[in-house]
Structure 1
Amino acid sequence: MNKKTSQDNKTKPVDKEKQVYSWGDRRPYNSYSNYFKKEFGQRVQKLSIDAGFTCPNRDGKIGYGGCTFCDNNAFNPSYCEPSKSITQQIDEGIEFHKWRYDKVNKYLAYFQPHSNTYSDIETLRKLYQEALSHPNIIGLVIGTRPDCVDTEKLDYIAELSKDYYIMLEYGIESCHDKTLERINRGHTFSQTKWAIQESVKREIKTGGHIIFGLPSETK
């Protein structure tokens, strides 16, 4: 009988190039595109839409000038113009992405620039329903601020999420109130916690945008 050597008893190192993580990918993080593939069984593309919203720290409700880091023109595709209807932006967005994703036929309307819940409920219904009525749209991704939702809006979005894929993306940026004040966010982290907790309570899919490495932050 052969005796096992101490070398045999050692755990073999994992080949990181072959390791598959619990989310089914070899990358050590669950990418958004991989998440969508698992959710829908195929690639789904987000289409940015500019519905003409603004923000409470731009229009004077709580301040002017917006956040210190914010420049919506930096990420808005050329077809995104609030003067165009939601339907026109979706049609042009599909053409815009075809050169890169020619096999994609399912899309999420991404209400992206500014705060896309910062209006009355009837305006939100009209805009969201127009997007959802497009035959290639299977859901919405709604970018907004945590201080731009309330129970009425969250109840409505929760109702929508029963029939469509709906993701609320909150601008969190930081969990430190001093940092939030420094970057002119105009809200506190407690407001962020409330918005996320109330969204999760209603089983709304919820995401967050966080800026790592802001001045004076270490962790």
Structure 2
Amino acid sequence: MTADAQTNRNFPWGHQRRYNDFPTFFRRKFNERVQKISIDAGFTCPNRDGSRGTGGCTYCNNKTFKPMYCQLENSVTSQLEEGIQFFRKKYESIKFLAYFQAYSNTYAPVKDLRKLYDEALAYPGVIGLVIATRPDCLNNDVLDFLQELSEKYYVMVELGIESVQDRTLEAVNRGHAWEESVRALEETSRRGIHNCAHMILGLPGESRDEILEQADVISRLPVENLKLHQLQIHKGTFMAKQYADTPDMFHLFSVEEYRELVVDYLERLNPHIIVERFVSSAPADLLIAPRWGLKNFEFVAKVEKRLEERDTWQGRLFQKA
């Protein structure tokens, strides 16, 4: 098929963008603007409190993605109020998803989760929840509760999977195995709970071929949404110390190198998977490397331009098992 012919047809996801992008999907689903509002509800993680380990993941500094209004002394309601006021000044018609983002937001008894989630859902304009958590923090009681909620509201569970390689998960002190990620994806999908797989590209010890094979593995699982981001070294992490002591153990991508990797990854990715993000942008005062100086939308433009230049698209090389 010629480039002109390809440009003038819709892809399997029903529009002419060369990948199955999240913003277009969301606009079509809700027929209006929907914005996530981040919340810090005071959770921790099983690899921080000693249940599975201590110290947390070697790359993790939650300050890199937490808005200023997300302070523990503020209630769920007050955090929502401050975040929603900001966006209502910019948009006349808008709805909201309460985004429980910091740490593992299903790591508590169901009675405690119910109190927090119900408080968020009671706020005017909130139509659902996005819940960031770990694959090992979804026991059957929690899954039953999320299934119950998803029958009334939009509920997405964002799973920090990070890698499909057990050796990598162990090396970054993740505290769970790949098989637990598979179970979490299969159970959320089976129960009608929306899911999102969060993956980090470039973790120490993973080759380019292994990263691309990851796309094949993810494509065979019931993944609805996908978040990718490049490995970043953040201040205040164990990985920052590793980077200072043994920089040779890391390969940090240039913009151009990562763009090519993303395009190759997309080519192998199941076209039904909705891609939410390619990169993460940490605050400059917390970022050690790589310092690209690009905003998310600028990198997206580079990917889209490269897809056109190569006359390729998400799923072009995807092969069903």
Cα distance change of structure 1 residues 28 and 91 upon mapping to structure 2, 3 Å threshold: same
Q: Normalized against structure 2, the TM-score is what?
A: 0.62
Q: Matches of residues 102-117 of structure 1 in structure 2 within 5 Å? A: 102-117=91-106
Query: What is residue 83 of structure 1 aligned with on the other side?
Result: 73
Q: Give 1:170's match in structure 2, choosing from 138, 159, 164.
A: 159
Aligned-pair CA distance for 1:17: 5.7
Tell whether the 8 Å contact from 1:109 to 1:131 is kept in structure 2 after alignment. Answer: yes
Q: How much does 1:174 deviate?
A: 0.3
Q: 1:104 Cα shift?
A: 4.4
- 2: CA distance, partners of 1:162 / 1:147: 23
What is the match of residue 94 of structure 1?
Answer: 84
Alpha carbons 1:51, 1:86 under 8 Å: kept: yes
Residue matched to 1:27: 17
SS of residue paired to 1:82: coil
Gaps of 5+ in 2: 211-321
My pick for the range that moved more, 101-110 or 47-56, is: 101-110
Residue equivalent to 1:38 = 28
Q: Quick check: 1:61 aligned with 2:51?
A: yes
Q: State the partner residue of 1:215.
A: 204
Q: Distance in 1 between matches of 2:2 and 2:48?
A: 57
The ranges of structure 1 where at least 4 consecutive aligned residues each deviate by more than 4 angstroms after the TM superposition are: 15-19
Question: Which residue is 1:146 aligned to?
Answer: 135
* Matched residue, 1:48: 38
2-side partners of 1:188 and 1:60: how far apart?
A: 17
Unaligned runs of 5+ in 1: 1-10
Please state how far the C-alpha of 1:105 moved relative to its aligned partner.
Answer: 2.0
1:128-182 C-alpha deviation (Å, 9 max, x unpaired): 0000011110000000000011111101100100000000110000000000011
Q: Which residue of 2 aligns with 1:158?
A: 147
Number of equivalent positions = 208
CA–CA separation in structure 2 for the residues paired with 1:12 and 1:200:
37
Cα deviation for residue 215 of structure 1 reads: 2.1
For 1:211 and 1:104, the matched residues in 2 are separated by 34
Let me know the Cα RMSD of the aligned residues: 1.6
Q: Distance in 2 between matches of 1:26 and 1:199?
A: 30
Amino acid of the structure 2 residue aligned with 1:171: G
- Output the amino acid matched with 1:204: I
Larger radius of gyration: 1
- Provide TM-score, normalisation by structure 1: 0.89
Which amino acid counterpart does residue 145 of structure 1 have in structure 2?
R
Structure having the larger proportion of residues in helix: 2
Match of 2:193 in 1: 204
Of all paired residues, the percent bearing the same amino acid is: 49
Gap change, CA 1:19 and 1:216, over 3 Å in 2: farther
